[in-house]
Amino acid sequence: MKKLKGKPVSQGIVIGKATILKSHSDIALKENLEKSAVPLELKRFNNALRTTRLQLKKIYKNLQQVMGKDSSLIIESQSMLLNDTRLIDEITDKIRTNRVNSEWAIKEVSKKYLDFFSNIKDLSFREKGNDIADILGRITENLSKSSKSEDQEIENVILVADDLTPSTAASLMSKGKLLGIILNNGGETSHTVILARTLGIPTILETGNATDEITNDDTLIVDGLDGEIIVNPKDQYIAKTRIKIEKYNAHKKRLKKIIKLPDITKDKKEFKLMANIELPFESDLVHSYGASGIGLFRTEFLFMDPEIALFEEEQYLIYKNIAQKIYPENVTIRTFDIGRDKGTKYFKTGNERNPALGTMAVRLFLKEEKIFRTQIKSIIRANENGNIKILFPMITEIEEIHTIKKIMEEITDELRSEKKLPLHRIQTGIMIEIPGTIKLIKHLKDEIDFYSVGSNDLIQYLLAVERDNSSLSYLFNPYQPSVIENLFEIREETEKIGKPVTICGEIAGKPLTALMLLGMGYTNFSMNPLSIAEVKRVFTNVHFSRIRKIVKKLPEFDSKSKSEEFLIESMLRIYPEMFIKQPFF
């Protein structure tokens, strides 16, 4: 029995057998063929090609059903490449003239285009190499699967793989037969994540080496709540997990009832819980999570397909659809928060020594104005029902706001002359993530309509601790005196100028920190939609006035542990029932 850790991205717990998905294209070996064997090899290749075309057609159809038209673009362009005579001729020529096996010919052609496109200066061409490699990889897989089919192999198992390309993820999951998914990596897997969540498949990413640690038919426990994987667990552990699964299911049922309650505390203080989403498709689910609208739509996913990021029409349609789906609730769209770890491959940010303090988000886009303008234009244009707000990340100084507002005015004029300007004025907000920005709030009364606190970054920059550095996680703590004091200050400053503030980030979605924020006076929360029901359960069971009294004492403590202990003890004293009965969060 051993344990692996990863990043849980789709909740649930499951026990099952492992199946390792190996990518064939990487391990292709060269075989030299007799002249007489060439026609047979060409036939083998053409069969695999035909199978791949059929597969892709099916995937395309499934994907459109599950995710909507916008998200199937990747498959569409792959399927065009698959019908491209030049690409196919190049492979068959290699088989014929070099007398090599199909796998080798594909590998060589694939490598050629990867190299070719990675050397092109123009950003929008870069990704094409990966598209070609992905699609050719599928042909290779089909070459080796003459007898067994994908469907028979992968059914009622936990899938373990290095990474999943969008097309493989879609084809495996749209059949809905997977119990769980474990990946070594998971950088570019937004498609995987959203499909997994929709279908309720527990999924853990970024395990590092799961494919080495797990072998076929190992029994696995995938705990998509804690991000833990147990390989070949002992019997008593399995029994314990079964109980946990039962409890989890009961818990989920209970939460379903809770989301229907009105959003008020016991003493009638109103609050608002909204969803953070990353993919357009998630807007369909917002209601079922019990969210009052979307408090943060992260648009970085658009960079998966640079052609969406670069086109006004595409973006406009995506934003408009979301706004329509959640009307009359609001959606706050945050402009590209790129740089640091996210999506940098489309931009040359230079080799900065410290990307977290470097050219990112608004800083990057004020340099790359073309893309920034396209996005702002699409957002303003999409605000046909007046329920879209626009949010700018990583604001450092007032000059940035002035520049942005000037760009917005120019775009408004542009839209007016194109007769595409909606009647509604769009509300403009900024993120408070950089501690220094808090001091700007009092000067922004006439500039900014609303504020949004990105707590993860705020903590990172306040404490000079990288948020994902696990050896420093003891420092990265919301109960640090400085964090508490700054959160109080943000609330007070925004209240003074009479502007609303929303808190988004992990602390909004965890019951204890959410209660702390409520006590500070925050009433707008935006969080991972899966956390909404739990926060709502806690909020509807407390009295705002009592929480406020407790939280007001927090600035007296000089350490994170004293604050946290005091908070927990006080809560347990007045609401003993609330925390004890909940084993899951």
Partner 1 sequence: MEKEKINITNKLGLHARAAAKLSHLANNFNSNIFLLFNGDRVNAKSLLGILTLAASVGNDIIIEAEGEDESEAVSGIKELFEKKFDEES
116 binds partner 1 (CB under 8 A): yes
Of 270 and 418, nearer to partner 1 (C-beta) is 418
What is residue 355's DSSP assignment? G
Three-state DSSP at 526 gives strand
Tokens of residue 155, six digits: 């059914």
What is residue 443's DSSP assignment? G
Of 134 and 564, nearer to partner 1 (C-beta) is 134
Residue 308: closest CA among 359, 267, 258, 343: 343
Q: Report the nearest approach of partner 1 to the CB of residue 222 (Å).
A: 37
557 binds partner 1 (CB under 8 A): no
Tokens of residue 36, six digits: 């007489």
Of 124, 146, 288, 545, the one binding partner 1 by CB under 8 A: 124
Piece of 5-13, 307-315, 383-391, 522-530 that binds partner 1 (CB under 8 A)? 307-315
415 binds partner 1 (CB under 8 A): no
Q: Residue 231: in which H helix or E strand, if any?
A: strand 228-231
Q: How far apart are CA 36 and CA 39, in angstroms?
A: 7
Beta pairing class for 272-277 and 294-298: parallel
Of 20, 81, 205, 395, the one binding partner 1 by CB under 8 A: 81
Of 181 and 310, nearer to partner 1 (C-beta) is 310
Cα 30 to Cα 43, 52, 143: the distances in Å are: 18, 22, 14
Q: Going residue by residue from 253 to 292, which x/- string records binding to partner 1, judged by CB under 8 A? A: ----------------------------------------
Q: Report the nearest approach of partner 1 to the CB of residue 215 (Å).
A: 39
Q: How far apart are CA 404 and CA 375, in angstroms?
A: 12
What is residue 531's DSSP assignment? G
Q: Report the nearest approach of partner 1 to the CB of residue 124 (Å).
A: 5
Catalytic residue among 191, 251, 287, 443: 191
80 binds partner 1 (CB under 8 A): yes
State the greatest distance between any 2 C-alpha atoms of the chain, in Å, as a whole number: 87
Q: Report the nearest approach of partner 1 to the CB of residue 90 (Å).
A: 9
Of 308 and 331, nearer to partner 1 (C-beta) is 308
Tokens of residue 349, six digits: 């940010």
Q: Residue 252: in which H helix or E strand, if any?
A: helix 235-258
120 binds partner 1 (CB under 8 A): yes
Q: Report the nearest approach of partner 1 to the CB of residue 474 (Å).
A: 47
| Residue 360: half-sphere exposure toward Cβ, Cα within 13 Å | 22
Q: Report the nearest approach of partner 1 to the CB of residue 112 (Å).
A: 10
Asked whether 186 and 192 are in contact (CB, 8 A), the reply is yes
Residue by residue, what is the 3-state secondary structure of 388-416? EEEEECCCCCHHHHHHHHHHHHHHHHHHH
307 binds partner 1 (CB under 8 A): yes
Of 77 and 219, nearer to partner 1 (C-beta) is 77
Q: Report the nearest approach of partner 1 to the CB of residue 194 (Å).
A: 23
Q: How far apart are CA 430 and CA 391, in angstroms?
A: 5
Q: Report the nearest approach of partner 1 to the CB of residue 139 (Å).
A: 15
Of 132 and 567, nearer to partner 1 (C-beta) is 132
Q: Report the nearest approach of partner 1 to the CB of residue 325 (Å).
A: 25
Determine whether 402 is an active site residue. Answer: no
Determine whether 504 is an active site residue. Answer: yes
Of 120 and 357, nearer to partner 1 (C-beta) is 120
Q: How far apart are CA 387 and CA 566, in angstroms?
A: 40
Piece of 182-190, 269-277, 303-311, 512-520 that binds partner 1 (CB under 8 A)? 303-311
What is residue 337's DSSP assignment? -
Tokens of residue 500, six digits: 């609303």
What is residue 26's DSSP assignment? G
Amino acid occupying residue 423: L
Tokens of residue 435, six digits: 């501690």
31 binds partner 1 (CB under 8 A): no
84 binds partner 1 (CB under 8 A): yes
Piece of 151-159, 192-200, 308-316, 431-439 that binds partner 1 (CB under 8 A)? 308-316
497 binds partner 1 (CB under 8 A): no
128 binds partner 1 (CB under 8 A): yes
Of 126 and 287, nearer to partner 1 (C-beta) is 126
Phi, psi dihedral angles at 390 (to 5 degrees): -115, 135
Piece of 32-40, 111-119, 256-264, 401-409 that binds partner 1 (CB under 8 A)? 111-119
Of 35 and 419, nearer to partner 1 (C-beta) is 419
Tokens of residue 107, six digits: 């590998």
Q: How far apart are CA 388 and CA 372, in angstroms?
A: 17
Alpha helix (H) residue ranges in 127-189: 128-143, 150-153, 166-173
Asked whether 275 and 294 are in contact (CB, 8 A), the reply is yes
Q: Going residue by residue from 310 to 339, which x/- string records binding to partner 1, judged by CB under 8 A? A: xx-x--------------------------
Of 47, 77, 92, 396, the one binding partner 1 by CB under 8 A: 77
Q: Which residues contact 43 (CB under 8 A, 6 or more apart)?
A: none
Q: How far apart are CA 540 and CA 551, in angstroms?
A: 17
361 binds partner 1 (CB under 8 A): no
As a residue count, the chain comes to 585
Of 309 and 516, nearer to partner 1 (C-beta) is 309
Kindly list the residues in this chain that would bind partner 1 in the complex (CB under 8 A): 77, 80-81, 84-87, 113, 116-117, 120-122, 124-125, 128, 132, 307, 310-311, 313, 370, 418
The residues annotated with a catalytic role in the active site are 191, 504
